[in-house]
Amino acid sequence: MPNILLTRIDNRLIHGQVGVTWTNHLGANLVLVANDDVAKDQVRQDLMDMVLPDTVGTRFFTLQKTIDVIHKAADRQKIFIVCKTPQDVLTLVEGGAPIDKVNVGNMHYEEGKEQITSTVSIDDKDKETFKKLNELGVELDIRRVPDERGKDMMSFI
């Protein structure tokens, strides 16, 4: 069983807060970005790599590759998975990735979305996705930073 410490939804993927605050708090030594677009974009990968300390490895996998290889992770890998959307997380869970807890960190506001916290905005598609994740037994916690008190995502749906 892979040692997945946490999975985070953050539409910015790896940035200072993820690369330093969350990684240190979790004790992660590997950040896995599961995103089809970034898996093909070396420039974005290089920019994200710059945020992380040298002691933390990175992988930039498509959703399917994540599903295919996550169970092959070594025990010594303390994995922090970062996804862009709740739909990406649902794809991983339905594909067999053993994800049981998700931190909903940042989902930007845009036209058609309802802002439910200062950093999370959702639309009907997101609500349905979170309902499915909840039905699959995934704990959904809204929290910007580790020392902030979390909020149950389902209380907003």
Segment 8-30, tens digit of pLDDT? 999 999 987 778 899 999 999 99
Residue 106 lies in a domain: yes
Reported pTM: 0.95
Rounded Cα gap, residues 118 and 93, in angstroms: 27
Q: How many CB atoms lie under 10 A from the CB of residue 110?
A: 9
Residue range 46-78, pLDDT digits in tens: 999 999 988 999 999 999 999 999 999 999 999
Contact 138, 93 (CB under 8 A): yes
Which residues constitute the domain of residue 75?
A: 4-149
Residue 23 lies in a domain: yes
Residue 154 lies in a domain: no
The region that residue 148 occupies, defined by phi over 0 for left and psi between -120 and 50 for alpha, beta otherwise, is beta
Residue 120 lies in a domain: yes
Residue 25 lies in a domain: yes
- Interior CA angle at 19 toward 82 and 141, to 5°? 45
Residue range 70-121, pLDDT digits in tens: 999 999 999 999 999 999 999 999 999 999 999 999 999 999 999 999 999 9
Q: Which of 111, 112, 126 is nearest to 156 (CA)?
A: 126
Classified as helix, coil or strand, 132 is: helix
Residue 155 lies in a domain: no
Q: 16: domain CATH number?
A: 3.40.35.10
Residue 31's DSSP bridge partners are 58, 80
Give the total number of structural domains in the chain. 1
The DSSP H or E segment spanning 87 is helix 86-94
Annotated catalytic residue 25: no
